[in-house]
Amino acid sequence: MRGGLWQLGQSITRRLAKGDKKAVARRCFATESELKKTVLYDFHVAHGGKMVPFAGWSMPIQYKDSIMDSTLNCRQNGSLFDVSHMCGLSLKGKDAVAFLEKLVIADVAALAPGTGSLTVFTNEKGGAIDDSVITKVTDDHIYLVVNAGCRDKDLAHIEEHMKAFKAKGGDVSWHIHDERSLIALQGPLAAPVLQHLTKDDLSKFYFGEFRVLDINGSECFLTRTGYTGEDGFEISVPSEHGVELAKALLEKSEGKIRLTGLGARDSLRLEAGLCLYGNDLEQHITPIEAGLTWAIGKRRRAEGGFLGADVILKQLADGPSIRRVGFISSGPPPRSHSEIQDEGGNNIGEVTSGGFSPCLKKNIAMGYVKSGLHKAGTKVKIIIRGKANEGVVTKMPFVPTKYYKPS
């Protein structure tokens, strides 16, 4: 879905206040009968969730509190997100690592068992098909999660290449975890609250690590990761235990961790400087242009071997023509597609995500500009509704991240 979910949330809040549910459905390009529902759907509705169409699912954009308050509460206490619309899958077999390395930029072979990384699925031109968090569970088992809006094309892409790989004798198979739900627990209280529900010592479990363990009586896949910049976890739980786990997490927090919707999730990830696929990352954008060079393993930079490697390695050597950067600006909040100009009024790029930062109390945005104009401190003009507003290129993340790493 193009455009900022934060702004969409504000628009939907106003529409729902007027009882205009048909306009909301039109705005989101779907009808209720066509939408898939997660196992937590009734739980969301019972807790005041304002449900909207998103990537073919009916998902909560917010609850009874405002998106502003919800964002701040995540940073101060914590948030519980239903992200079951995302697609978890496992690749298994002695050649699973070799197969995946044909499709992504990560050095999967170098990952220690039980650790993972952000990566990008690339196409033949080096563009991003999707971004994904991948985990090497063991040397012959990879667990990964792909974006809901990219599910169909991602699975078709993986399946097509898997058939060719297996036809040449490769040993790899897959399982799509539609029997599981995915809950994200984020914020400073995430670890102490989750610790109440598991015997495993979470103080020895660091950012990017993965375990299979018992949580609240269910066998869960636990990854210490998230999409907010805060410490936190993504919990893959058997769907029949999803509601029970969500209730237990909220109860153990004594009301401090709140159910949180897509609106606050978008402002949180923007403050953390994280890409939203479909806005900041697309089929024609390479990982180098997107500022994700760090995700390309050292061995992969030397050997290539993934789709579009020739384009990406050339950009690594020569530098890209455009780069993703952050901005702070005056005037109305920038929106996706807002034009970016230099001080002389020349077009130098476009905003891909923008909104008002609840934590910083100022406008923040990210977008792409011509190389050479990407350095922090560069003054720009952002055109909103025909009017030029002052802006400055700013380092990301806008809000410092708090990932839990060994000291």
Please give the structure tokens belonging to residue 124. Answer: 């033949």
Predicted local distance difference test score (pLDDT) of residue 224: 98
Q: In this predicted model, what pLDDT tens digit does every residue of 43-70 receive, in sequence order?
A: 999 999 999 999 999 999 999 999 999 9
| Bridge partners for 59 per DSSP | 52
Supply the angle between the helices 5-17 and 262-271 in degrees, to the nearest 10: 150
- Residues of the chain where predicted confidence (pLDDT) is lower than 50: 1-3, 16-17, 23-29
Neighbours of 173 (CB within 10 A): 12
Estimate the crossing angle of helix 67-76 against helix 262-271, to 10 degrees.
60
pLDDT at 33: 76
Query: What's the confidence (pLDDT) of residue 14?
Result: 53
Annotated binding site: 234
Global model pTM greater than 0.75: yes
- Secondary structure of 324-378 in HEC code, one letter for each residue: EEEEEECCCCCCCCCEEECCCCCEEEEEEEEEEECCCCEEEEEEEEECCCCCCCC
**In the prediction, which pLDDT does 2 show?**
38
Q: What is the pLDDT of residue 407?
A: 87
Annotated binding site for substrate: 234
What is the model's pLDDT at position 136? 98
Domains within the chain, CATH numbers bracketed: 40-86+179-270 (3.30.1360.120), 321-396 (2.40.30.110)
